[in-house]
């Protein structure tokens, strides 16, 4: 499955079961390298999730990683702390929001 398909599927799960994103208002940006190089934004606002293939607004938290590592992260097969410490993941913006993303993803694995 492609990154876009995976993000759209995740957004659908979150929109169908919004209890895991209550009170979350954030714009995450994923700057990806690899075969599916590009920029994606996932905006969570008012218990709704939207996925964009481009920059829609200034992100609160930007994660720089490979497309394959993003897929592993979403699937729960990549520990973000280890990825960050080993340089596979770079974070710009609010580090606390990156940790929040980890807890949100766990709810939707």
Q: pLDDT in tens for each of the 109 residues of the chain?
A: 999 999 999 999 999 999 999 999 999 999 999 999 999 999 999 999 999 999 999 999 999 999 999 999 999 999 988 999 999 999 999 999 999 999 999 999 8
User: By residue range, what is the domain housing residue 36?
Assistant: 3-104
Q: Which CATH number do you get for residue 81?
A: 3.30.1050.10
Residue 109: inside a domain, yes or no?
no
Residue 73: inside a domain, yes or no?
yes
Angle between helices 3-16 and 67-75 (to 10 degrees): 30
Q: pTM, whole model, 2 decimals?
A: 0.95
Residue 59: inside a domain, yes or no?
yes
Count: domains in the chain: 1
Residue 88: inside a domain, yes or no?
yes
Is 16 exposed, middle or buried, given 0-12, 13-18 or 19+ CB atoms closer than 10 A? Answer: exposed
Residue 55: inside a domain, yes or no?
yes
């Amino acid at each position: 499955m492609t990154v876009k398909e995976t993000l759209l599927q995740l957004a659908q799960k979150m929109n169908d079961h919004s209890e895991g994103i209550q009170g979350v208002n954030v714009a995450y940006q994923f700057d990806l390298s690899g075969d599916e190089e590009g920029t994606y934004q996932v905006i969570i606002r008012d218990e709704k999730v939207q996925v964009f293939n481009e920059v829609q607004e200034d992100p609160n938290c930007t994660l720089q990683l490979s497309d394959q590592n993003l897929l592993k992260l979403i699937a729960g097969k990549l520990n973000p702390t280890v990825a960050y410490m080993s340089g596979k993941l770079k974070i710009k913006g609010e580090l606390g929001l990156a940790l929040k993303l980890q807890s949100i993803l766990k709810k939707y694995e």
